[in-house]
A and B are shown apart, each in its own frame.
Chain A
Amino acid sequence: MTMAANDPSLVPPLLEMRQVTQTYALNRQSLLGARPQLTVLDNIHFDVRPGEAVGLVGESGSGKTTLTRILTGMEKPREGHVFYDGRDVWAGGAEHWRQFRRSVQVVMQNPRSSLDPRMRIGSSLLEPLRSLKIDGDHAARVFEVLDQVGLTRQALERYPHEFSGGQLQRIAIARALMPGPKVLIADEPVSALDVSIQAQVLNLLKDLVNNLGLSLVFIAHDLSVVAYTTSRVSVMSAGRIVEVGKPMDLFVRPQAEATQNLVGAILTVESGLAGNALG
């Protein structure tokens, strides 16, 4: 697949996957037989430039989560390379690995399960600094980040159960921002939230990209949500990236079958009222 052919930006990518193929071994079918291989990612190229917001959409089972795991260094790809700042993260040495882990942070789908229920918010926010062994004025950093996500200092003394889903997602974003990342990877960050809150979180992510110059990788199954937050979208299907383009182009002229399915799946209030939504 051609990658970002229409992207005029000549800035080298900050985070990049090249020819990544990931396979998992399945159970043997017979005693002496070879273990069959399941190809989850098939020759994937994926990149994000500094300050750019890119989207990744696809049905469940298309490989989005595996791609995320490889992009964040949680899994090592069977074939291919992951580059951060131009260097292979699996061959760049301990110091580069540390830089990479610090600079690429993740926001998960469900903040209720990604925050420790027994830890005060303040401790949760400090955790990444502790585990990544980052020095400096931790208290000042906490206050700065709280401000960036629009939370007050009172939140620090509280426990996760005292917050609503939308506030918890803000807290999860705050925690991801603590080590001062360059890339934020958000995996379905609003699909567990209420409708009236989703817009708040989407706007927050958008502001962070604009104000802090962060790169954003936004992973979701809902093309309209991705279109709102990003300027370039990759569509995945069965382990491959089948189409890359600007959100508007994907909406108006979807080429790949998977893209057409996703665009066709979008229900809107207007099409519903017109009576042809379920066509």
Chain B
Amino acid sequence: MSQENAIEVRNLVVHNTALTAVRGLDFTLPAGARMGLVGESGSGKTLTALALMGLLPMGWQANGSVRHDGVDLITQSDRALSNRRGRTISMVFQDPLSSLDPVRRIGQQVSSVIRRHTQAGKKEAERRTVDLFRQMSLPRPEQLMRAYPHEISGGQRQRIMIAMALACYPQLIIADEPTTALDVTVQKQVLRLLNTAVQERGSALIMITHDLPIIAAMCDTVAVMYAGKIVEMGPVAEVFRHPRHHYTKGLLDSQPTMDNIALDGSSRLASIPGMVPPLHSLPAGCAFHPRCAAATEQCITQVPTLDDGPRRAACWHPIGATVPMEVA
């Protein structure tokens, strides 16, 4: 199993009766690899994750193919998917408070995942849970078993969620904004623990976030999503140092950092004008063209596709190219 890809997504489309939120996604994640999925709200990144997990909200449907562990997740029954979640593929959500059951003890919630997917009995599952808590550097793991979610801090709760997601050594972990709801000073610690735990298990990771520094710290490759499509992908260092798509560059430039702001108050941050288009009125051609300074007639009428190679971008006038791309 270890040599196989953790996940292969082909032409994934997620839609409901009126809207199409994810418009044809293709990516492959080798076993143990780590990919960042960047996008703003409305880019379709969370629906992509939910589609991979088989957890789409009522009314939404996924098409295309998602190969994972020898099966196509799209065609699997609810029962088969439920059997899989937490075992071969698991997810860490943004808000741990709303993903933990408030009326069950923490130990019970985590050990029930282990009992659901392994042969372990009650005692054995509890022993493993305590071990997991210890790996997550949680204080007093034995007492924590009997605590309720409201009794512990947000950072601790998120570490519990990570422990739960990793309990059965999944091949793939999807983390959707795992530190956004946490205090900045706790963020690094949680990321570090997630990093180590994923590494030790050899799991593949899809890190979904709008926070570019987190992707830079945690992932090997990155895919930038805009309006339901991947507009740029490649090795994270190359994409972030030499972005080819104007949207990626805009995102990078609008981060206030020590490097791009003069701290005497004289500088102005570069910002991307306009806003993310709503799904019901996506612009024709390149969806980013109304906000793009480099847009031409071609961008308004023709939809760019991801070009080939290790550094793919879907842009008619990619940054760094001297000759305009011809129509494919």
Contacts and interface: CB of A to CB of B under 8 A. Distances in A.
Interface in B249-286: 250-252, 254-259, 261, 263-265, 267-273, 275-276, 278
The secondary structure that dominates the A interface is helix
A206 B41 CA distance: 25
Interface stretch (A9-17, A103-111, A128-136, A270-278): A270-278
A199 B267 CA distance: 12
Contacts of A21: none
Nearest to A221: B184
Interface bin, chain A: 35 or more
B40 A194 contact: yes
Interface string A41-62: 0000000000001000001100
A228 B261 contact: yes
Contact of B240 (A197, A225, A262, A269): A269
Given A203-B271, A262-B184, A265-B187, A277 B276 contact: no
A225 B211 CA distance: 14
Contacts of A248: 263-264
Nearest to B268: A203
Contacts of A154: none
Contacts of A270: 216, 257, 259
B252 to A, nearest CB: 7
A269 B264 CA distance: 22
A197 B269 CA distance: 11
A272 B188 CA distance: 11
Most chain B CB neighbours (cut-off 10 Å) among A59, A202, A225, A228: A228
Contact of A202 (B214, B217, B252, B269): B269
B195 interface: yes
B183 A59 contact: yes
Contacts of A167: 275
Contacts of B195: 278
Given A271-B213, A272-B215, A265 B272 contact: no
Interface residues of B, number: 46
Contacts of A262: 184-185
Contact of B241 (A261, A273, A275): A273
Interface in A194-246: 194-200, 202-203, 206, 221-222, 224-225, 227-228, 230-231, 246
A195 B41 CA distance: 10
B168 interface: no
A7 to B, nearest CB: 14
A265 B251 CA distance: 21
A195 B217 contact: no
23 contacts: A59-B183, A166-B275, A195-B40, A195-B210, A195-B254, A196-B271, A200-B273, A202-B256, A206-B265, A224-B258, A225-B256, A227-B256, A228-B261, A228-B269, A251-B258, A261-B185, A262-B185, A264-B185, A269-B257, A271-B213, A272-B214, A272-B218, A273-B241
Interface of B: 40-41, 183-185, 187-188, 191-192, 195, 210-218, 236-237, 240-241, 250-252, 254-259, 261, 263-265, 267-273, 275-276, 278
Closest 7 CB pairs of A and B: A272-B216, A199-B271, A272-B217, A267-B213, A199-B254, A277-B217, A194-B40
